[in-house]
Structure 1
Amino acid sequence: MPRCSRSSGHASWQEEQKPSCWIRCWSCASSVAGSKPGANNARTRPMCWRACARCRSWNVWAKRCERCSWTWRAWTPTGWHSRENYRLPKPESQRRALAEQIGADGLALLRALEQAATPAELQEVHSVQLLRQVWQQYFELGEGQAHWRAGPQAEQEGVIRSPYDPQARCGKKRDTVWLGYKVHLTETCQTPPVEPAQGQEQRAAPRLIVQVETTLAEVQDVEVTATIQHELAQADLLPDEQVVDTGYLDADLLVSSQSDYGIRLLGPVLADTSWQAKAGKGFDLAHWQKQQVICPQGQRSVSWSVQSQRIEAGFARHTCAACACRPDCTHATSAGRVVHLRPQAASEALQARRAEQQTPEFRQQYATRAGIEATHSQGVRRMGLRRSRYDGLPKTHLQHVLTAVAINLVRIDAWLLGKPPGATYQSPLALLAAHPLLYQPPPPLQEAC
């Protein structure tokens, strides 16, 4: 069981962008160079959007499904072929007109599939369901027409950004925006010493990645902490201490990590951003048993309401109205101050951590987390961790797991060969500033002759 582990996340986006055309058909195979009956068009066929693309009886060159006798010529709009091979126009008006026309063509296809003469099995094809979902998000379907939306309409499953990978989502971290997924790595940071072989000195075990979690790019880091701890418990790899950054922490996790898994979650929490706290005129949160809050002027709250995830403590209106410090306490003009609290355990843990993270001892302990950044750099620069070579969350997760295995093998090989880990890079200016000669007193000046 490792004594300490550290977790962090990294973006992983698609290796290459697919063509932006949303509507493809089997007739595009005839425009490929060298394309003819019997030719190998395996690279172009999976890109097509025809409803019968998954039907084994589909005759590519006759444009007809032999099993269901559903022919595409019956519903093909006029000018369909002329709109397949196009270049995206530069004027915004022409781009919008092209989007409206593509929406009309896709709507015509969906309506043809909803007719009574259309076989029911065609409506259950995954590509058809995906096309219908995309059109609902990007077009307003009304009065028999499809109008391009100013922005996609979000649904519970999320906005589809690419038809080739419906699970890929857009993520943003500071100034970086990507399309794809996010990987979270957990590695050991304090390992016990290993019994040395004959003629060798005792060394600590190599630091290895013990857990890999892949999520959608839009999933927040704080939502993954409990999942990582659960999987570590399933593998019997729970640490005594888990070092994470602020994104993986909140007040409830500070309590649940200790109570459910016996883990001390080490990391800085967010500061209180309320304008009262910034002014340094907060409250003494006391008397949980009496269910009261005492303000800096000694007044006590008169109401205590327990909600699903918070507690509201309110002060009497006449008490706040007569107080000289009212402008420093609340902006309300006709009501008393209302204080929002977390449950007692979470509130006390949060206040204790905010006080603890100001100490030098905490900063020294938290400095251990910097090692996970080296793991990210190794995965990105040497293992291609930032690029997803496959579509879909399961395959992308498999790539992340294999990348973590490769990193572990490299570290085990270096440990067996006795190679020490690389030193942290320091700039020449930092090395010069740390030189011991700079801290020695200068020699006495000799008198000139």
Structure 2
Amino acid sequence: MQQFQYIDGVVRWREPKNTPPGLIRLRTPYEPDARTGSKREVDWSGYKIHLSETCEPDTPHLITHIHTTPAPVTDVVVLEDIHTALADRGLLPEEHLVDAGYVDAGQIHHAHRDHHVELVKPVKATTVKGQATADVFDNTRFTIDWDQRQALCPGGQTQRRVARRPKPGWHCGHPCPFRRPTLRPL
């Protein structure tokens, strides 16, 4: 059924574009819940495991949570479940170091709103197609001073992080010359 189809009374190979999606496609009859995963150049059959561990410099690094999903589930969709599980056990960190695959704007907002967790992640590569314009900026237009923990936007405003955890609704107090009236903050 997955590799073949019955068309006009004839059994034929399926074209790759006509095979079932990864979340429902069986990989092996011996492990009916295993699925095929792919990330960059690596393909595998089975599951994906998301580990959470402590990383304080003066304490042992301990695994605090293991979250298992089918292999094709993307990282970003499991972060809220991980935070909920850590909170239920009293193990939720103030800062959660994650790789870029776990984060989007919604996750940053939900982690802060629902769990008071600051997500620390790598800055993603440029995602704006073509050249940045006066009202669309890619990450190359911002200057980040990691030592001072501040960012300078293309409008010349500096965001200084005065507290370990920023307060919701932060703004610099000056109107942004690039902000269009239709844009709204999260």
Instruction: Tell me which interval the TM-score lies in, with the shorter structure as reference length.
Output: 0.5 to 0.7
> Which of 15, 18, 43 lines up with 1:150 in the alignment?
15
What amino acid is aligned across from residue 217 of structure 1 in structure 2?
A: A
> Which of 51, 54, 58 lines up with 1:188 in the alignment?
54
TM-score by length of 1: 0.30
- Aligned partner of 2:3 in structure 1 is 138
SS in structure 2 at match of 1:190: coil
> Which of 146, 155, 168 lines up with 1:360 in the alignment?
146
Rounded to whole Å, the distance in 2 between the matches of 1:165 and 1:210 is 27
Alignment of 1:380-395 (within 5 A): none
Q: CA RMSD in A?
A: 2.8
- Aligned partner of 2:38 in structure 1 is 172
> What is the count of residue pairs matched by the alignment?
146
Q: Deviations for 1:301-355, whole angstroms, at most 9, x for unmatched residues? A: xxxxxxxxxxxxxxxxxxxxxxxxxxxxxxxxxxxxxxxxxxxxxxxxx98xx95
Alignment of 1:293-372 (within 5 A): 355=142, 358-361=144-147
More strand by share: 2
Rounded to whole Å, the distance in 2 between the matches of 1:270 and 1:246 is 7
> Which of 134, 138, 142 lines up with 1:282 in the alignment?
134
Q: Specify which structure has the bigger relative contact order, considering alpha-carbon pairs within 8 angstroms and separated by 6 or more residues.
A: 1
**Structure 1 residues 164, 359: closer, same or farther in 2, change over 3 A?**
same
Q: Which has the larger radius of gyration?
A: 1
> Which of 231, 250, 254 lines up with 2:85 in the alignment?
231
- Aligned partner of 1:10 in structure 2 is none
Moved over 4 A (4+): none
More helix by share: 1
State whether residues 77 and 102 of structure 2, in contact with CA within 8 Å, keep that contact through their aligned partners in structure 1.
yes
What amino acid is aligned across from residue 232 of structure 1 in structure 2?
A: L
Structure 2: segments with no counterpart, 5+ residues: 150-186
SS in structure 2 at match of 1:275: coil
Post-superposition offset of 1:237:
0.9
SS in structure 2 at match of 1:224: helix
Post-superposition offset of 1:220:
1.0
**Structure 1 residues 140, 185: closer, same or farther in 2, change over 3 A?**
same
Rounded to whole Å, the distance in 2 between the matches of 1:275 and 1:147 is 40
Rounded to whole Å, the distance in 2 between the matches of 1:268 and 1:282 is 25
Rounded to whole Å, the distance in 1 between the matches of 2:67 and 2:8 is 45
- Aligned partner of 2:163 in structure 1 is none
> Which of 57, 60, 63 lines up with 1:206 in the alignment?
60
- Aligned partner of 2:168 in structure 1 is none
Rounded to whole Å, the distance in 1 between the matches of 2:3 and 2:43 is 21
SS in structure 1 at match of 2:51: strand
Rounded to whole Å, the distance in 1 between the matches of 2:110 and 2:86 is 15
Rounded to whole Å, the distance in 1 between the matches of 2:88 and 2:118 is 18
Rounded to whole Å, the distance in 2 between the matches of 1:156 and 1:178 is 12
Post-superposition offset of 1:268:
2.3
